[in-house]
Amino acid sequence: NLTGFGLLTSTPEFLATFEPGDLRKPWYDWHGAGGITTNYHYVLKLTNNINELRTNSGLHSIVYRMSDAYLMYAEAANELNGPTGEAYAKINTIRERAGLPDLQGLSQEQFRQAIMNERKWELAFEFQRRWDLNRWGKLVEAVKSNAASNPEGAKNVQDYHQLCPIPPKELSLNSALTQNPGY
């Protein structure tokens, strides 16, 4: 019926990043069925059913997922000790469900990049991407690399967009912070 709000579509740039055979990709690249055809890459991940593309309800609101916890664990383990067996086990559990081969024998930097990719694919449209890119210091680079799909964003993004400062008024309301600035 294609009515409502919250139109979710993927960019061709995002879809091009998936590894061949990744079972998650079709959830981000729906073009139609049952007499409906579209020119867009609709995201089915958060919809109620295949006939309601504009997500008219909060039925599929994601609060927290096990895959997020696994990826956080793998990322932390890699930063502490490099890619360990347990870090590989966590990321490979997610890759297995996606129909992808296990990762192995990666350097710490290669494993870091693999985690960044897995978080992009696994948690897409769950409103975590900006915070991931901020944490990794890659927000500006990522926005600029999507200039074809987001020319205004690419033109206007600045380094200060990575900042999330606490407003001074909020700081003044919290006496613990004003009395102990290093808190």
Torsions phi, psi for 9 (to 5 deg): -135, 150
Distance in angstroms (rounded) separating the CA atoms of residues 163 and 31: 37
Burial 88-127 (b: 16+ CB within 10 A, else e): bebbbebbeebebeebeebeeeebbebbbebbbbbbbbbe
Angle 108-122/66-81 helices, nearest 10 degrees? Answer: 170
Q: What is the dihedral of CA 115, 118, 124, 126, to 10 degrees?
A: -60
Predicted pLDDT at 176: 67
Predicted pLDDT at 57: 53
pLDDT (tens place) for every residue of the chain, 183 residues total? 444 444 678 888 899 999 999 999 988 887 766 677 777 777 877 665 555 544 455 555 667 789 999 999 999 999 999 999 999 999 999 999 999 999 999 999 999 999 999 999 999 988 889 999 999 999 999 999 989 989 999 999 999 888 887 788 887 787 665 666 555
The number of residues making up the chain comes to 183
Predicted pLDDT at 4: 41
Cα 155 → chain centroid: 22
In whole angstroms, how far apart are CA 122 and each of 47, 112, 167, 183?
16, 15, 32, 34
User: DSSP assignment, residue 17?
Assistant: T
